[in-house]
Structure 1
Amino acid sequence: MRIKIRFKVVISLRIALVCDDEPIIRMSLKNKLLELGFAEIVECSDGEQAVQLALDRLPDIAILDVSMPKKDGMTAAREIRSKLKIPIILLTACCDPDTVQRAKESGISGFLAKPFREHDLWPAIELACAHAEEVEILKEQIDDLKETLESRKIIEKAKGVLMKNQGLSEPEAFRKMQKLAMDKRKSMRQIAEAILLTEA
């Protein structure tokens, strides 16, 4: 019986990468993914192929077996995640603490236990996508915070240079930088960097 899928995360995905050295598992996954609404399933049987296909075909999600020839699923996942910000689900028969820890370090977004059960697939995909999205949002927030802190340091340094070189008070130096930023339509950081180049 075919199920009509209404889950918003699943139907927004089009290409899936499936990597397992057991053809019967690949076929089962492929059939279920097509039923869930994926337009294309990219298949392979070893970790090296998985990395290469991921970079070539740019899938929306990858499902990798933990134990594969040439390159295991953890290593392949880490390499894929370093280039593509896609959710990766790990197929494994063993969920011991060491495997879970390695999975976290490799950027794995979810697990599917072997033997694979078809009705477990869409919840795993939904949760993996939600987890991957949360991780990317957190990374962006951290990057934004780092950028803000770095900008603040540069602005403070430039303000100090103006105070020293032009005999300005701290509020005067800050106002001068603000006026320059408005007049030149530049950010405060850009003005601060220019001041450090010309005044230092």
Structure 2
Amino acid sequence: MVKRIVIADDEPITRMDIRELLQESGYEVVAEASDGFEAIDACKLHNPDLVIMDIRMPVLDGLKACKKITHDKLAGGILILSAFYDKEFIEKAKQVGVLGYQVKPLDEKSFIPTIEMCIAKAEEIKALEKEIQKTSQKLEDRKSIDIAKGLLIKEHDISEEEAYNMLRKMSMDRRCSIGEIARTIMVIYE
């Protein structure tokens, strides 16, 4: 699958050079932006795999745009591309969740491998977030099931096993998760 990229830099020539490099390497440039607000809008519209972002741009700088993009999960990841390489900028980039930092002028030999690494890390993070969400949902379901069992035991004067079997049967009969049934029971009986 072709990876989709947004380029955000206030220099049109820089954007053109980056676009050509990316397209030659098989990437799809879905949008270009000349300031942070345009970058945010492009990410909202395209949800790219990666954003290549300059730090110093007019209107809204790259680091502030990065913060919004990572907070709202508008892109898979962000690679900073900047002429500034002092520790302060690098530290700020880490704090806003940037996956990579490349110093201008571009070194073509390291640019594409850096992009590949950033995209791979972004995909890894996305997979981990899905796994965390799944585990969290299972935990919530477990809590709901325990509460619902307690309510059924109290309401029907049955054993814990009977309460669980009742939940399971309702779940199968209605073709929905046992967690959904448990949450419904909690609303009905509380």
**How many residues of Structure 1 are paired with residues of Structure 2 in the alignment?**
189
1:1-200 residue pairs with structure 2 within 5 A?
A: 12-13=2-3, 15-40=4-29, 42-81=31-70, 82-200=72-190
After superposition, the Cα gap between the structure-2 partners of 1:21 and 1:189, relative to the gap in structure 1 and judged at 3 Å, is: same
- Cα distance in structure 1, aligned partners of 2:30 and 2:88: 30
- Cα distance in structure 2, aligned partners of 1:58 and 1:149: 30
Structure 1 residue 151 displacement after superposition: 0.8
Unaligned runs of 5+ in 1: 1-10
Contact 2:36–2:59 (Cα < 8 Å) also in 1: yes
Unaligned runs of 5+ in 2: none
Percent identity, aligned pairs only?
Answer: 37
Structure 1 residue 198 displacement after superposition: 2.8
After superposition, the Cα gap between the structure-2 partners of 1:29 and 1:196, relative to the gap in structure 1 and judged at 3 Å, is: same
TM-score, scaled to structure 1:
0.82
After superposition, the Cα gap between the structure-2 partners of 1:182 and 1:56, relative to the gap in structure 1 and judged at 3 Å, is: closer
Structure 1 residue 37 displacement after superposition: 2.1
Contact 2:90–2:101 (Cα < 8 Å) also in 1: no
After superposition, the Cα gap between the structure-2 partners of 1:59 and 1:160, relative to the gap in structure 1 and judged at 3 Å, is: closer
- Cα distance in structure 2, aligned partners of 1:22 and 1:190: 53
Contact 1:74–1:103 (Cα < 8 Å) also in 2: yes
Contact 1:30–1:41 (Cα < 8 Å) also in 2: no
- Cα distance in structure 2, aligned partners of 1:164 and 1:97: 62
Contact 2:5–2:31 (Cα < 8 Å) also in 1: yes
- Cα distance in structure 1, aligned partners of 2:31 and 2:89: 25
Structure 1 residue 36 displacement after superposition: 1.1
After superposition, the Cα gap between the structure-2 partners of 1:142 and 1:39, relative to the gap in structure 1 and judged at 3 Å, is: closer
Whichever residue aligns with residue 91 of structure 1, its letter is: L
Once the two structures are overlaid, the 10-residue window that deviates more, 109-118 or 125-134, is: 109-118
- Cα distance in structure 1, aligned partners of 2:156 and 2:109: 71
- Cα distance in structure 2, aligned partners of 1:112 and 1:25: 14
